[in-house]
Amino acid sequence: MESAAQNRPSFDTIAIVGVGLLGGSIAAAVKAKGLVRRVVGVGRNSQRLDAAQSAGLIDAASTEIGNCKAELIVVCTPVDLIADGVRSAAATADAGTLITDVGSIKGNICRALDGALPDGVTFIGSHPLAGSEKQGHRHADAELFVRSVCVITPDASAAVVQVNKLTSFWETLGATVVRLSAEEHDQILAETSHVPHVVAAALASSLQNENSQFVASGFRDATRIAAGDPNLWSAILLNNVDAVLDSLDSFRDQLASLRHAIENRDTQTLQNLLRNAKRNRDELS
Amino acid sequence: MESAAQNRPSFDTIAIVGVGLLGGSIAAAVKAKGLVRRVVGVGRNSQRLDAAQSAGLIDAASTEIGNCKAELIVVCTPVDLIADGVRSAAATADAGTLITDVGSIKGNICRALDGALPDGVTFIGSHPLAGSEKQGHRHADAELFVRSVCVITPDASAAVVQVNKLTSFWETLGATVVRLSAEEHDQILAETSHVPHVVAAALASSLQNENSQFVASGFRDATRIAAGDPNLWSAILLNNVDAVLDSLDSFRDQLASLRHAIENRDTQTLQNLLRNAKRNRDELS
């Protein structure tokens, strides 16, 4: 009991900036876990905030990011708005405030905020590897982070107490927390998420409309992520250009090897390549 | 009642050559629909056939394809064994016997069998667009074909009565039947199934082992089909080389456009390409 109570953070107020799928799920999860007295939702659209409040996800709503006095502020906006959001929230925050985000890229955000916040206000990047192609707080799920991985990217100057607080926060929501540098994060995610999105989009685009009736579950699975929001994904890709290009080259090499074996009717090589792919995939299951 | 009875074929004996996922599912479905008095399973492994018989999928088992006296013979072997299987079954079949298959390629099979069967024995190719990366009759599912599409590829010489019988057979199992030429089938399936398999395999192969903990549902979905059997898929791809290479080129063009927009940080073009991909994918849902 005692150690659980020690490890479990508790907050008077948490502010969620951007109450969509991820923000809404965090709100639902912190309430379900009893981590917080009050959740404030911040956003530009007051109707949507009202709906989130009616749904019981948030206790109060504000369209002014500067008003969100909270010990923990989680910025859940699209990636190209995160750094500005953090700066605005930090400008009026009390000393001791911890700010984090849920963005799919970390390097550009962390670099933009390096040395840019008032004394006593800490930003540590987070990226919970959870979500879906669905959008909006209507799909919020208090269990979204259970058995997921959450990467956090504290820089060398981050206070241990704040790193531990953020770690406990995500762990209480069910995630396993992994610390990486922002640059390591962006390289890895280019491979595991950003390039798969580009590949799925290319596959979906190469389907001729008149052939769509001949699509079975394999094509549907392989292209599911291509249904994600084009503006959000464009911003993610353009905030991680170098790592995405590197990983695209690795993918292109693998594809070229497979193409070469097919073109040369080289059964042995083709079977070996497909066996290697299957082994990699089976290890994820 | 009368028209349903007229449309619904009924058979004394159906033989299933190769009682795996698809063969077992056909056996389960024809029994569930009461289409047949007796299902004979044919295969090389008598233990597996015994297990399928114990599971109630088949009524009798034979390791000799020549013994399967049946009005309908469905060859469900890997694609590189189908033409030989059809020839062997046809050699001892009575006049009037209809033989079909479930292979993922049709051109090579139909060409190999053109003019090669005894008078009175008809082969018409089938390809039910159903299945999964699972294998074996233990995963057999009588509902596998419900709301699926089944392509049949009768050549110009096929008797209308046999084409209608095969059409009714698949329709009774729940499929929508579409007639194509074997060549049309192979071109379309290169795009909707074979190239997606190659792409998923390249994606799975480009994952570095140490990064597998950072994989979320998007990568899992996009690579699920790469878990398919390497030998089966090698045979499929090598029986459809020209169409697969053509479709791979289309995919590569789409990928190059996306890469170019990313490299040039061309937000507008990238958003348009991702929007086009999303539109294509959304239309499948």
Of the residues A214, A241, A269, the best mutation for testing chain B's interface (the one with the most B CB atoms within 10 Å of its CB) is: A214
The band of A15, judged by pLDDT with boundaries at 50, 70 and 90, is very high
Among B residues 177-216, those touching chain A with beta carbons less than 8 Å apart: 178, 188-189, 191-193, 195-209, 211-216
Question: Quick one: pLDDT band at residue A5, thresholds 50, 70, 90?
Answer: very low
CA-nearest residue to A214 within chain B is B192
pLDDT given at position A102: 97
Give φ, ψ of B100 to 5 degrees.
-135, 180
Domain boundaries, chain A: 2-180, 185-282
CA distance B186 to chain A (A): 11
CB neighbours of residue B177 within 10 Å: 17
CB atoms near residue B120 (< 10 Å) = 11
pTM for the predicted model, two decimal places? 0.92
State how far the Cα of A273 lies from the Cα of B157, in Å rounded to an integer: 40
Number of neighbouring beta carbons within 10 Å of residue A259: 18
The pLDDT assigned to A7 comes to: 65
Backbone angle region of B174, left / alpha / beta, with phi > 0 → left and psi within -120 to 50 → alpha? left
pLDDT at B136 (0 to 100)? 86
User: Is residue B147 classed as helix, strand or coil in its secondary structure?
Assistant: coil
Averaged pLDDT, A246-262: 98
HSE-CB for A153 with a 13 A CA cutoff: 24
Helix A195-205 and helix B195-205: axis angle, to 10°? 170
Q: How confident is the model at residue A6 (pLDDT cuts 50, 70, 90)?
A: low
d(CA A267, CA B115): 29
Structural contact between residues A72 and A16, judged by C-beta atoms closer than 8 angstroms: no
Tell me what pLDDT residue A112 has. 97
Mutate to test the interface with B, among A133, A152, A197, A234 (most CBs of B within 10 A): A234
pLDDT single digits (tens) A182-225: 999 999 999 999 999 999 999 999 999 999 999 989 999 999 99
H-helix or E-strand containing A270?
Answer: helix A267-282
pLDDT at B191: 98
CATH no., domain A2-180: 3.40.50.720
**Spatial contact of A202 and B250, defined as CB atoms under 8 Å apart:** no
- If you ran DSSP here, which 8-state letter would residue B16 be given? E
CB contact, 8 Å: B268 with chain A? no
| pLDDT cut 90: percent of chain A above it | 89
End-to-end CA distance of chain A: 34
Alpha helices in chain B (DSSP H): 2-7, 21-32, 46-54, 82-91, 107-113, 160-172, 182-189, 195-205, 217-223, 230-238, 241-263, 267-282
What DSSP designation does A191 have?
I
Q: Which chain B residue shows the shortest CA-CA distance from A184?
A: B211
Section B102-108 average pLDDT: 97
DSSP state of A192: I
Report pLDDT for B1.
39
Pick from A80, A177, A187, A192 the residue to mutate for testing the B interface (most B CBs within 10 Å): A192
| Mean pLDDT (chain B, rounded) | 94
Burial classification of residue A232, based on how many CB atoms lie within 10 Å of its CB (0-12 exposed, 13-18 middle, 19 or more buried):
middle
Residue A187, classed as helix, strand or coil, is helix
Min distance A217 CA to chain B CA atoms (Å) = 8
Number of Cα atoms under 13 Å in the Cβ half of residue B211: 19
Spatial neighbors of B212 by CB under 8 A, at least 6 apart, are A280, A283, A284
CATH number for the domain formed by residue range(s) B185-282: 1.10.3660.10
Residue B16, strand partner residues: B41, B74
For residue A3, CA distances in Å to A10, A110, A133, A161 come to 14, 32, 37, 17
Structure tokens at A25: 């799920």
Q: Does residue B4 or residue A129 have the better pLDDT?
A: A129
How much is the pLDDT for B2?
39
pLDDT at A42 over 90: yes
What is the structure's pLDDT at B7?
Answer: 65
A236: nearest CA partner in chain B? B262
Please count the helices (runs of H) and the strands (runs of E) in chain B: 12, 9
Integer CA distances (angstroms), B138 to A236, A285, B25, B53, B55, in order:
43, 20, 9, 11, 8
Shortest CA distance to B252 belongs to which of A258, A272, A217, A191? A258
Residue B131 has pLDDT above 80, yes or no: no
Determine contact, residues A147/A123, Cβ cutoff 8 Å: no
pLDDT band at B10 (very low <50, low <70, confident <90, very high): confident
User: Rounded mean pLDDT of B165-174?
Assistant: 97
CB contact under 8 A, B213 and A277: no
Q: How many CB atoms lie within 10 A of CB A263?
A: 13
Contact predicate A198/B255, CB 8 Å: yes
For residue A231, what pLDDT band results from cuts at 50, 70 and 90? Answer: very high
Residue with tokens 């911003």: A235
CB contact under 8 A, B202 and A280: no
Cα–Cα distance measured from residue B76 to residue B21, given in angstroms and rounded to the nearest whole number: 9
Structure tokens at B224: 């699920």
Nearest to B200 by CA among B225, B228, B163: B225
**Is B149 part of the contact surface with chain A (CB cutoff 8 Å)?**
yes
Q: What is the pLDDT of residue B5?
A: 44
Identify all chain A residues contacting B130, using CB atoms and an 8 Å cutoff: 216
* Cβ neighbours of A237 in B, within 8 Å: 262, 270
Q: Is residue B145 a contact partner of residue B130, using CB atoms and an 8 Å limit?
A: yes
Beta-sheet pairing, A72-75 with A60-62: unpaired
Whose CA is closest to A199, among A133, A127, A252, A130? Answer: A252
Mean pLDDT, rounded, for B192-209: 97
- φ, ψ dihedrals at B221, nearest 5°: -60, -50
Is A155:A110 a contact under the CB 8 Å cutoff? Answer: yes
Q: What is the CA angle B92-B93-B94, rounded to 5?
A: 120
